[in-house]
Every structure is written in C-alpha cells, then in structure tokens.
Amino acid sequence: MTPPAGRAAFRAALRAQPAEPPDPATVGGAAPPAWAWHLATALHGLLPSDVADDWAGRLHTVLAQPAPAGLYAVHRWQAGTVLPLLARTVHAQDTAAVTALAGLHTSAEGGTPAGRDRWRPALTAVLLRLHDAAYDRSSAYAQSHTGARDFALANGFSAAEADTYGHEYARLSSDANARAFAESHAQALGEALTDAYATGSPEAYADTWPGAQARAVVRAVAGTAPPGGAASAAVRLADGLVTALRPGEDPASRGASGRRVPPADPSPAPTHRPRRTD
C-alpha cells in the first residue's frame, strides 16, 4: 500500500470510529495502541474540519514508527498538554491540585512512577474539579426550572410565584447534581486510573475510556473560555497527542500545521466550532 493510500485509509477509519484499532496492513503500517486509538477517534471528531484531516495525516506518520513503550507518551501528554489546559478551568486556589498531579506524571515520564498511595488522592482532587467544570449546568438548570415552574403553575401558583419557585428549585438541584456527577466520576475513574498508572499498563489505561476523558476536558474548557474555546482545546489536545507519541519532543511544542506553539497559551481562542463536543 502506498503512503497516500495508507493515510487515506487511516483517515477513513478515524471517521468510522470502530472500537478497535485498524489492522496495520490496511492503513499503511500505522499501528496505534488501543488507548491511543480511543483518543484519536474522539479527538478527530472534535477537531474543526479545516484541521482534522491534516492532523490525521500527521498522526498516521507518527504511528507508522515504533511507539514509546508503556505509558510514557500518556504521561508526557498529561503533564505537557492536558493538565496545563485544565489549569485554566479551575479557580486560583485549585491549581495546586493540578500542579501536584502534573508532577507525578512528569516523574513517571522520567522513569520514577509513584505508587497507588500517591496517585489516588492526586487523581481524585483533579477529577473532581474536571467533572464539576464539565457538567452541563446551563442545560440542567433550564430543564429543572421548566419542570418546577410548570409543576407550580399546575398547583395554583401565580406566574411570578411559579417562576421564582422554578429558579430556586433549579439552583438547588443543579448544584446537587453537579456534585454527584463529579463525585461519581472521580470515584470510578480515580480507581481505574490509579491501577493503570501504578502498574504502567497500557491495557489498563485503555479500559479507562480515554476518549471520554478527553471530551470532558474539552467541555470543561468550553465552559470557562470565550466562544471557540472547545475547538481550541480540541486542537491543543490533538497536537499534544501527536507530539507525545513522537520521541524526543515536548507534547505541546507543535501546532496543527506543524509549527511550534507555546503550551497552554492564554491568548483568546480561535472561533472554530467543533463538529460535536459530547
């Protein structure tokens, strides 16, 4: 299979989003590990259309080469791209949790991984913040308000009273639901990721639904960024994944076009819109 044909087949596989990586013989030799394939299909779907296929070509080129062993690329991606991006979504007093987890990933990248007793609390602290920020409060609030207002109207409240009741109910229920959402994800993912990182197992990491985690980061950034923040976050995550898989480069050092860009650039996001963010 010629290189152009292999890249075209690889892009087609990304669009189809099969659960398992394609056979390398059918995509010109690209052989992504399962965890990287899960991330690649998720990120390709989130990228703006004007960069998605070019990014897929870059990823194909990298995956045609031997991948870094174990979870080395995961730790580089998390420390160099994911966590600096996530730091934008938390309050100033919360950045210490992100910094602490980034330090564990950096140590693991350098060959000194931490034990379960350090991974679990560090992961839980960040996962709580991530999924709290990723929770769709606006939709939940609107749905709760409408339901509570209509209930009040059906039970003799005036329009003004029903609207006030609806807002109070929506505020209380949305806050409670956001906490439950964050806590349940932190509990389940915290245990699974702790096992993966403490054992250095790519198979265990693939079982933590890496693509869903990437989507959560994009939603979290979109909720605290200017318009276009979701697309900007997806581009940074995708760029970071490609460069983390390429030995000897900083995960955030190159942009979608191949040009070098600074990590976690705080400048306003571009106005691209992703095809989907769920």
**One-letter amino acid identity for 228?**
G
Phi, psi (degrees; rounded to nearest 5) at 267: -70, 160
Per-residue pLDDT of the chain (278 residues; tens, 9 = 90+): 557 777 888 888 888 887 788 777 777 777 788 999 999 999 999 999 889 999 999 999 998 888 788 999 999 999 999 999 988 776 545 688 999 999 999 999 999 999 999 999 999 999 999 998 888 777 777 887 888 888 888 988 898 988 888 888 888 877 888 888 889 999 999 999 999 999 999 999 999 999 999 999 999 988 776 666 788 899 999 999 999 998 754 444 444 444 333 444 433 333 333 344 34
pLDDT value for 67: 77
Q: Give the pLDDT score at 11.
A: 85
Q: What is the pLDDT of residue 249?
A: 46
Range 153-157 contact pairs with CB under 8 angstroms and sequence separation of 24 or more: none
Q: Does the reported pTM lie above 0.75?
A: yes
Q: Count Cβ atoms below 10 Å from residue 27 Cβ, excluding itself.
A: 25
pLDDT of residue 4: 76
Rounded to whole angstroms, the Cα distance separating 218 from 84 reads: 13
3-state secondary structure of 152: helix
For the chain, how far is it from start to end, CA to CA, in angstroms? 35
Dihedral in degrees, nearest 10, Cα atoms 203, 238, 132, 197: 30
- pLDDT, residue 250, reads 43
For residue 238, count CB atoms less than 10 angstroms from its CB and return exposed for 0-12, middle for 13-18, buried for 19 or more.
buried
The residues with which 260 forms a beta bridge, in sequence order, are: 254
Q: Are 22 and 13 in contact (CB under 8 A)?
A: yes
Would you state the pLDDT for residue 267? 37
Q: State the CB neighbour count (10 A cutoff) for residue 233.
A: 27
H or E stretch covering 195? helix 159-199
- Burial of residue 170, with CB atoms counted within 10 A of its CB: 0-12 exposed, 13-18 middle, 19 or more buried: buried
d(CA 258, CA 248): 15
